[in-house]
Structure 1
Amino acid sequence: MSRAGLPAEGPGSHPLRLVAVTHGAPSAANREAVIRLVDAVASERPDLDVSISFVDASNADVAAALAADAEADAVIVPLVLSAGFHVRTGLSLGLDRIGGGAQLAAELGPDDRIVAVLAERLGALGLADDDAVLLAAAGSNDPRAVRECFETARRLGQRLGRPVTVGFIAAAIPRLPDAIEMIREVHPGSRVVVGPYLLAPGTFYDAATGAGGDLIADPLLLPDRPAPRELVELVLERYADVDADRWERA
């Protein structure tokens, strides 16, 4: 666990804590990219005690994995773009088992600030008018998470002024290689430009890179660049939504 920021106290002398949680077995590049985001959040709000917890997605006992971080009055902010099983079931049940005052914030997406970063990443590739854009999402067995990915594609299409197709790397259809093949059949001769709807480099990004597109943009976070301000603001907003609601009920 990497911790940044200073502890502070809010109303009623309760400590303010933001625990950013990400799941999976991160590569070095993935870990560094995510830590850059959390460090930026801590720098933006030095009054908060900000920490990060990497929860292994294969760990069946999510509660035990969170126990060290989910202290009373902590707000758990899941660093996920769409809330599938790991957020709606794994983290929620884990916090219920722990008990206490820890609360779970909403997932990061869909959100226009994410769309802005996606558009910037795609723009860096130099999109041509006849390029076909495809949003590559991780995928989920949760229908709501799948719908959220299609909503992000719709918003991105509006921002770019062109249709955006969705392809899933796992767990949902259309699968990314199938979506690329479909685009080639419908738009022969057009470049297929992939915009990864992925927070950071890692296994899913590697899979998207090898799926057969002509170009692929960078993920939202990179290990060698500062975290986009839009994402820093988004994490803090998810925290603030829970924190404000908590004090209203107190």
Structure 2
Amino acid sequence: MTTLIACSHGTNDPAGQEAVRRLIGDVRALLPAVRVVAAVVDVEQPQIDEVIAQEAPRDDVIVVPLLLSVGYHTAVDITRAVGRHTNARQSEPLGTHPLIADVLADRLSDALPMGWVRGDHVVLAAAGSSNPAALVDVEAVAARLRPLLPAPVTVGYASASVPRIGTAVAEARAGGAARVIAASHVLAPGFFAGLVSSGGADVVSLPLAPDPRIAQVVVDRFLAAR
């Protein structure tokens, strides 16, 4: 057997912690024969290097980043921790899986109980990263999301990348948008979800997790890496 280490960012937000716990619980339900262990890269405990060191002596391990794009935490923190153990490896992050766009579209519909109106504009609001590969990942999600929505989609970032969410919202309004909706391209409530909410959009969708489809994405990433 191979142990799945589900590695999230970590947060001080109790709602975010609960969302990740529920997501990992959903993963366990989908993989009843697999040992599924939680880890984080920041803020909380246990940290990823500690968890791999504990699990690798007993089993092969695959780290699935509960992160939505390639960035510092996936390319440096997780990769460095994995590289210390010959029987450890990591999967791709979650964001470019096709189901992510489906969940985003449903979150947007949930945020608009009266439906879409003419003049709506969606800003795909992502955390942001200094890693150019992360921006490619987010643009890929935007490309998958556009055919699912009756409104144009542009991209904004909470930090580290441009345009910032506030700038993307302002540009949408300057371009004639009557209402700007921020699609929260974040996994769970926490710091980055707060930045998305404060970006000036008229409506903000909820984060992606928990959702059974996100758990399926985790499972798919694990199986592909195994």
TM-score in same-fold range (> 0.5): yes
Q: Which residue of 1 aligns with 2:151?
A: 162
Q: Is the 8 A contact 1:18 1:48 kept in 2?
A: yes
Cα distance between partner residues in 1 of 2:120 and 2:149 = 11
In the superposition, relative to structure 1, how do residues 146 and 170 fare at CA in structure 2: closer, same or farther (>3 Å)?
same
Q: Which residue of 1 aligns with 2:92?
A: 106
Cα distance between partner residues in 2 of 1:83 and 1:26 = 22
Deviations 1:207-243 (A, max 9, x none): 111111100011101xxxxx32211111111111111
Cα distance between partner residues in 2 of 1:52 and 1:112 = 24
User: Structure 2: which 5+ residue stretches go unaligned?
Assistant: none
Cα distance between partner residues in 2 of 1:241 and 1:234 = 11
1:69 is displaced (CA, Å) by 4.0
Percent identity of equivalent pairs: 33
Deviations 1:36-94 (A, max 9, x none): 011011012211111111232699x9634642344440111110110111111221112
The TM-score with structure 2 as length reference comes to: 0.91
1:100 is displaced (CA, Å) by 3.2
Deviations 1:165-203 (A, max 9, x none): 100000000011111111111115x11111010000111
User: Structure 1: which 5+ residue stretches go unaligned?
Assistant: 1-14, 222-226, 244-250
The code of the aligned residue for 1:73 comes to D
Q: Which residue of 1 aligns with 2:218?
A: 235
Provide the aligned C-alpha RMSD in A: 1.9
Q: Which residue of 1 aligns with 2:77?
A: 90
Q: Is the 8 A contact 1:136 1:168 kept in 2?
A: yes
Q: Which residue of 1 aligns with 2:60?
A: 73
Cα distance between partner residues in 1 of 2:200 and 2:109 = 20
Q: What secondary structure sits across from 1:132 in the alignment?
A: strand
Q: Is the 8 A contact 2:116 2:150 kept in 1?
A: no
Q: Which residue of 2 aligns with 1:6?
A: none
Larger radius of gyration: 1
Q: Which residue of 2 aligns with 1:208?
A: 196
Q: What secondary structure sits across from 2:182 in the alignment?
A: strand
Q: Is the 8 A contact 1:70 1:95 kept in 2?
A: no
Q: What secondary structure sits across from 2:54 in the alignment?
A: coil
In the superposition, relative to structure 1, how do residues 173 and 70 fare at CA in structure 2: closer, same or farther (>3 Å)?
farther
1:199 aligns with 2:181: no
User: What is the correspondence of 1:30-179 to structure 2 with a 5 Å cutoff?
Assistant: 30-56=16-42, 63-64=49-50, 66-71=52-57, 72-97=59-84, 99-124=85-110, 125=112, 126-179=115-168
Q: How many corresponding residue pairs?
A: 221
The TM-score with structure 1 as length reference comes to: 0.83
Deviations 1:92-117 (A, max 9, x none): 112112x2311111111212201000
The list of structure 1 runs, each at least 4 consecutive aligned residues, that deviate by more than 3 angstroms after superposition, is 61-66, 69-72
In the superposition, relative to structure 1, how do residues 18 and 170 fare at CA in structure 2: closer, same or farther (>3 Å)?
same
